[in-house]
Chain A
Amino acid sequence: MDRRTGRLLQRSRILSQILFTVIFFFLLVRSGGGDAARLPWAGLFFYFDPLFLWVVLLAGPFLRIFLLALAPLLLTLLLGRFFCGWVCPLGALNQFFTWLGSRRRQRLVPVARKPLRLKYLLLVALLAASLFTVQLLGWLDPFSLLTRSAATVVLPGANALLQQALLAGPEPLYELGRRVLLTVTQRTFLQAAGIGVIFLGLLLLNLHRRRFFCNYLCPLGGLYGLLGRWSLLRLAINPKCRSCNACAGHCTYYGSPFKDYLKSECVVCFNCVVDCPEAAIDLRFGFPGAGRRPALDLGRRRLLGASAVGLAAAALPLVAPARSSRTHAFLRPPGAVSEKKFLEKCIRCGACMQACPTNALQPAVFQAGLEGVWTPVLVPTSGYCEYECHRCTQVCPTRALARLTLEEKKQFKIGTAVIDRSACYTYADGYNCAVCEEHCPVPEKAIRLRDVEVHDFRGRLRKVRQIYVVPDLCIGCGICESVCPRSDIPAIRVGAEEEQREIPSG
């Protein structure tokens, strides 16, 4: 194949990467506001992810839309790991940072086979654990990782930086920026620092090794690599080759079709074709049986070992108290299925947090156990569940949050408010307050007022309009907790008491 054709294909690949990245971010940003009816589109990329096909297959009920994930699987049998090279937005970002860190003169680094194996072993371990209902694929899946990082760090972070920059400038510019670019309120997230450091770290690692995450860590890349080794499309060297090894100069995995061709690692980027001075690299379709089958040797023992590790690791959450505990100190978003199923279905992508208009949904730290890290919890001190909103239930790709209609969601009980009588002004201090009562969105009012006399801190009897909760009416939206004017601890708090968990049909 001549260089011109190679360059054309290389540029098409870059264009394709940009295009899919733009679509990805467009859908993500759009899910943060606007028309709720379009929200299911936010999950588009997830539906094409075979790892999540596996998740809904295991956890059930099966969601047919995930059959879309068969498309990239089949195409991989034809084209190899094109998905990693041409489609994946996280791959594109990694490629971009690789390019940022690349020097004009490339140092030739031999292929490091050991670290390349890591992603396969991770995949095998995660799949093995998932058979035992310990479903942690979302921690490393590129779409979960990118959505989570973008929703909780990149987008709010960009907003915060931009706001500070605009504040330093002239006021009309700030006003304009605030109108067209900034969000009305700055979003904040519990684990922003943790998620951000991981994300930034992964991006910076590209400066050390090309597409670090894709080559060494990505379980989806691992899956495509396992299939890609059987693909019909292959690169081949023709007799024009002078063994100069120039093709290794920009190879994504530091290989070269000339010397170290590993089909499972090749993301069909066409860098080698462009680098070859002799047009000695061809692109051919051929059956995998024909000729040698270049692939990474994973080793049966290593694979068995990884499965064993995955299985053994699965025991850790199973013996942790979080799963069997009758009580818990966190709230799940509306529509959440039973906790055990929720942990199995939730892919830790943070799409619900992006869609939540009030910033109420937050990635768990350790509230829900180690297994629950990055699953969504509703934190009323951060935001409340808006009565007229059901956005999170519309974006959840795997239906860990059942798709509730607005009317269903209004009835859905997330928890119950309890009054801390030692902190509430209307109990402890003998003062009127009732901010919570004012905000309670239940039309019949789950928080009500009664006229009583209480002793204030001086011991004087005072007439007070005291608040009380009607537990049966309370839906646990948490707006009461979020508006309680106390500056130390909210005097009314929502706990998981009487929480409803959607039982999935079918």
Chain B
Amino acid sequence: MLVSSGLLMSPLVRAQAGTVGQADVIQVKGASPYEITQRAVAELGGMKRFISRGDVVMVKPNIGWNRTPEQAACTHPEVLRAVIELAFAAGARKVVVMDNTCHKAEDCYQRSGIEAMARRAGAEVRFSDENRLVLHDFKGEVLGKWPVYRDHLEVDKFINVPILKHHGSSGLTIAMKNLYGILGGNRGKLHRDMGENIADLANGFRSHLVVIDAWRVLVRNGPVGGRLSDVEERRSVIASPQIMHADVAAAALFGRDARQIEFLQAAHERKMGEIDIAKIALKSLSA
């Protein structure tokens, strides 16, 4: 069922869309995180639009914290499974899953349920390895060269699969902020001009597809949370090849105006996309 749709499509958006007239951002609400993820990608035109036969694909969830899926600090394993399976079905030769975690990596990989699920779906699960850091130039306004795990640079396609949640300093963490996970080094330093840094990061590194898990949403005390009373079920997934529009739509789903989110404001200033949800071609449906 079509609930709402964007009024206007900017020239930028139209240029990126695969099919003329197709929605730029898909938001699906439904009864199973796995199914709504599949549906959202299908509505975008299918995974074949983003993945070519023989591609090595990085699927980058948020595995930042030693928390269970119920605590909604990490990407839902079922959303991840759907993305991995779709990538393989579209012809991916290999799917890699990894993150640079905030808590101890093994704990996060295990408790989030992501390691087990990704393995079962046939993906290769890697830990971020300091010996694989290379300097990458983001050519941003504040973010220049920064160490990146080269795993992310050596793949053909990058699918960004964050979870939507509250974040104390940046307001929200969604897809653009999820790219912190490709970085090594003293990432905490980037909190200084966080909004500017997040925008530069997303501008200087391409996500070929963004799939945002909004099945359970941590609405307070993020990004680590822990208390189930801070978690609300939104039973949604948002998918788009346009990272900024995906984040703007997710912010709206969260109940926030993107214009009040620093990093989206900074992204808008960098002409990364529309900040007004009304100007984004958003198709919202229930599965």
Contacts and interface: CB of A to CB of B under 8 A. Distances in A.
B224 interface: yes
Contacts of A433: 169, 188, 191-192
B169 A432 contact: yes
B224 A439 contact: yes
Contacts of A438: 102, 167-169, 223-224
A445 B111 CA distance: 21
Given A434-B168, A445-B221, A487 B103 contact: no
Interface in B180-218: 186-189, 191-194
B169 A386 contact: no
Interface stretch (B78-86, B225-233, B235-243): B225-233
A209 interface: no
Contacts of A443: 221, 225-227, 230
B107 interface: yes
B194 A432 contact: yes
Given A386-B103, A432-B191, A435-B191, A444 B221 contact: yes
A435 B66 contact: no
Instruction: Classify the interface of chain A: helix, strand, loop or mixed.
Output: loop
Contact of B224 (A389, A441, A449, A487): A441
Given A178-B129, A432-B169, A432-B191, A387 B226 contact: yes
Interface string B128-140: 0101000000000
A389 B107 CA distance: 10
Contacts of A358: 104
Contacts of B127: 178, 184
B105 interface: yes
B192 A465 contact: no
Nearest to A389: B107
B188 A357 contact: no
A432 B192 contact: yes
Contacts of A389: 107
Interface in B100-148: 102-107, 111, 127, 129, 131
B105 A185 contact: yes
Among B194, B226, B227, the one with the most A-chain Cβ atoms within 10 Å of its Cβ is: B226
Contacts of A449: 168-169
Interface in A8-61: 33
Interface in A239-283: none
A388 B111 contact: yes
A437 B188 contact: no
A167 interface: yes
A461 B217 CA distance: 36
A468 interface: no
Interface residues of A, number: 32
Among A184, A358, A386, A438, the one with the most B-chain Cβ atoms within 10 Å of its Cβ is: A438
Contact of B192 (A33, A425, A440): A425
Given A386-B104, A441-B226, A485 B188 contact: yes
A154 interface: no
Contacts of B103: 386
A357 B105 CA distance: 10
A484 interface: yes
Contacts of B104: 185, 357-358, 386
Contacts of B192: 425, 431-433
Given A178-B129, A432-B194, A437 B105 contact: no
Contacts of A485: 186-189, 191
A445 B218 CA distance: 14
Interface in A404-448: 425, 431-435, 437-445
Contact of B107 (A386, A431, A440): A386
A204 interface: no
Interface in A368-420: 386-389
B107 A388 contact: yes
A232 interface: no
B191 A184 contact: no
Contacts of A440: 224
A205 interface: no
A184 B227 CA distance: 29
A308 interface: no
A483 interface: yes
Among B127, B188, B193, the one with the most A-chain Cβ atoms within 10 Å of its Cβ is: B188
A388 B103 CA distance: 10
Contacts of A388: 66, 107, 111
B226 A357 contact: no
A434 B191 CA distance: 7
Nearest to A487: B186
Interface string A169-202: 0000000001000001100000000000000000
Interface string A292-313: 0000000000000000000000
Among B106, B131, B191, the one with the most A-chain Cβ atoms within 10 Å of its Cβ is: B191
Contacts of B131: 167
Contacts of B102: 438-439, 483
A252 B194 CA distance: 67
A358 B188 CA distance: 19
Contacts of B230: 443
Interface in B65-111: 66, 102-107, 111
Among A387, A443, A487, the one with the most B-chain Cβ atoms within 10 Å of its Cβ is: A443
A167 B129 CA distance: 12
A437 B169 contact: yes
A463 B50 CA distance: 42
A408 to B, nearest CB: 16
Nearest to B66: A388
Contacts of A387: 66, 226
B154 to A, nearest CB: 11
A440 B167 CA distance: 12
B189 to A, nearest CB: 5
A386 B103 CA distance: 8
A194 B129 CA distance: 29
Contacts of B111: 388
Contact of B188 (A444, A445, A483): A483
Contacts of A483: 102, 188
- 10 closest A-B pairs by beta carbon, nearest first, are A485-B188, A443-B227, A434-B169, A435-B188, A443-B226, A485-B189, A433-B191, A184-B127, A437-B168, A431-B192
5 contacts: A357-B107, A432-B193, A443-B226, A443-B230, A484-B188
Interface of B: 66, 102-107, 111, 127, 129, 131, 167-169, 186-189, 191-194, 221, 223-227, 230
Given A432-B194, A449-B168, 18 more contacts: A167-B131, A185-B104, A357-B106, A358-B104, A388-B111, A425-B192, A432-B169, A432-B191, A433-B169, A435-B169, A437-B168, A438-B223, A441-B224, A449-B169, A465-B169, A483-B188, A485-B186, A485-B189
